[in-house]
Amino acid sequence: MKVADSVLALGLAISLGPAFAAEPPGVGEIPWSFQPLKRPVVDSSKYQHWALNDLDRFIAARLETEDLRPNGNADRTTLIRRAALDLTGLPPTPEEFDRFLRDPAPDQEAFAKVIDAYLASPRFGERWGRHWLDVARYADSVGRTWNAPFVYAWRYRDWVIDAFNNDKSYQRFIAEQIAGDLLPAKSVAQRREQVIATGFLTLGSIAINMGVNEGFVLDQVDDQIDVTTRGFLGLSIACARCHDHKYDPVSQMDYYAMAGIFYSSWTYSGTPHVSDHAGYGYVDPEMLVRLPKDLTSKVDRVREVPGGIHSMSDLRQFGGKAPPPFEIMPDWAMGVRDGKPVNCELRIGGEYWDRDVAPPRGDIRIPGLPDFPDIPADRSGRLELAEWIGSPTHPLTARVAVNRIWQHLFGRGLVETVDNFGFTGREPSHPDLLDHLAIRFVENGWSTKKLIREIMLSHTYQLSGDAQKTAAIEIDPDNTLYWRANARRLELEPIRDSILFIAGDLNNGAPEPGYVAGNGNRGRSAVRGEIGFDSPWRTIYLPVLRDRLPDEFGTFDFPDPSSVAGLRHVTTAPPQSLFFMNSRFVEDAAYRTADRILTETKSDEAGIELAYKLILCREATSDEIADAESFMRGLDVAGLKDPEGYRWATLIQGLFSTAEFRYVL
């Protein structure tokens, strides 16, 4: 079956918006997700022989209830491309492709070796770290009226990448981002990393032109509540800022009991120094934390400014010309530290000037959720919040985490509304399977890599995407029951990175810090990225400037970096095809790929075979080879300086433009 036909048959442009309740729930009702995790017993089914693990048994039992038979497994060619793109965001090399296809081991054993190799690759952290950065609303600039740069945001980004590569326990992953500065550490390096992790709380889009006043602080606290609760719990507690939550059992008192925790913490986002009129990226020293140099020193703000350009009089010393690039200070970072513990007064209607009672910090009484631990009077409560969220008995945390992982491997979560596990979200398609995976996740030490490996070694993950079964299409057209694999359009990052990788241009390192400049103040110097879309680094390392993203980001549905975005809504639109047809980026990559093919092969047939293997990760058929040869012979190359390069680049650009390249099958 041709890819284009599959795409049409599967109807890929699906909107997965929330299923809003018609009216608020009754008094005392709690969402399904607030129920304690329970170890389910899987029913037997006539497809038991098909199952490779308990995951498959849960899927098989549901399929039998609808009298559906699962597809067979995809072939090895399909599986290695699926695994490579899912785990690393890059296609397999021809050597990896040939090794897997020729491996004499049984399919399951051979595929396990492929999975283990990709999980161990540094590219894994870059791929899966980007998934989390969507949730963490990561950006390299503030956004809004004064779109100032976050010059040190890259430290947090790199911490996330390392956390996934090192398979940091998800429980620890939570704790370090909320309260890393308060956790004990065994080494100075670990302590510094934990402080950097709290950059999670500093990345919000905030109106810094307001100055640090009460309204500014409360808006910042609201952002921290939102990213923490939606990111880790799939719960929109921030909706209770102005009044009790309309749908979920979260009161305004609960909101301000949590707000007091962040209200008692100082946030250092590294916004520009007020005298940096020239816009060379110098930051206000009091808006950063200094990373500790020993295990006992307190985390404190930076209190002195190093030499450099800090005013227009300094700039005149350089004759009005731009000075050398500013120095990234090795001991500076965005982060938080405990301030003076104080409860946050309830604000009527959310207005900062209209005050009411101040509930005690941590006095969160959400029905169905665990009791919040007591907060000592001399602490903010961030450490206790991290412990509460990371508790193995919390009904939301593990469910939300495994659902995010499932979504990235299948294109849709078991709960489709991945950031909303409340009443207005969707209920799970397979609730028993969700609980089974959540319990396995916790019992395996909250290991992301172990869970991914278990899922990928299931028949369910390895299914063929063949959609030719008419009866199955009629019963389950959206593949809610997973009788086949879903075709998934690649996101921006693997599309761009794969093109660079195939052309031999991808730099596997990271750019030097200092690639974001400008103070962002309109009328002065706008924030700008010093590296662009055509740079050789992976897309995760390109600057994410709020309100100034490259057009290509929007073309391929890059999420709004100002809000939690666990789900990227996928569109299929003409600008995507036009990008492959007209983009200078694609055209240049096609010529460089042509040079590679002409260097590595001796004949047209061998070159075409290599092109298909590099770009589509499969062997070309005899008909495709003949068609490609005929196509290249028919091109008008009269008067061209490099007719051979043009022929090959045109063929390669055509292969880049196919749906087969853009989709994981």
3 state SS of 46: coil
What is the model's pTM? Answer: 0.90
Residue bearing the bigger pLDDT, 291 or 575: 575
Phi, psi values for residue 363, rounded to 5°: -80, 60
Half-sphere exposure of 506 (CA within 13 A, CB side): 21
pLDDT band at 529 (very low <50, low <70, confident <90, very high): low
pLDDT band at 303 (very low <50, low <70, confident <90, very high): low
What pLDDT, on the 0 to 100 scale, is given for residue 513?
A: 80
Contacts for 201 with CB less than 8 Å, ≥ 6 apart: 177, 178, 224, 227, 228, 262, 265, 267, 335, 336
Reading the block at residue 631, the tokens are 């196509």
Helix, strand, coil percentages for the chain (3-state, nearest 5) = 45, 5, 50
Would you state the structure tokens that stand for residue 541, as one six-digit string?
């390392």
**Which range, of 76-90, 149-163, 585-599, averages the lowest pLDDT?**
149-163
The pLDDT of 396-424, averaged and rounded, is 98
User: In angstroms, rounded to a whole number, what is the distance separating the alpha carbons of residues 127 and 538?
Assistant: 10
Other Cβ atoms less than 10 A from the Cβ of 294: the count is 7
Better-scored residue on pLDDT, 472 or 275: 472
The mean predicted confidence, pLDDT, of the chain is 87
Give the residue extent of every domain in the chain: 3-120+395-489, 577-664
Q: State pLDDT tens for residues 499-518.
A: 999 999 999 999 888 666 55
Do 81 and 664 contact (CB within 8 A), yes or no? yes
pLDDT > 50? residue 7: no
**Token reading at 470:** 């008419």
Alpha carbons 459 and 462: distance in angstroms, whole number: 5
Tell me the per-residue pLDDT of 247-292, one tens digit each, with 9 for 90 and over.
999 999 999 999 999 999 999 887 554 444 444 444 554 567 777 7
Dist CA 219 CA 214 (whole Å): 9
326 and 306 in contact (C-beta within 8 Å)?
Answer: no
Give the pLDDT band (50/70/90) at residue 93. very high
- DSSP label at 571? -
* Tokens matching residue 523: 């009328």
Task: State how beta strands 300-301 and 265-268 pair.
Answer: unpaired
Task: Convert the pLDDT of each residue in 11-41 to its tens digit.
Answer: 333 333 444 444 666 656 899 999 999 999 9
pLDDT digits (tens, 9 = 90+) for 174-213: 999 999 999 999 998 999 999 999 999 999 998 876 666 8
Q: Residue 477: how many CA atoms within 13 Å on its side-chain side? A: 7
Cα angle vertex 530, ends 526, 531, to 5°?
130
Q: Is the pLDDT of residue 10 over 50?
A: no
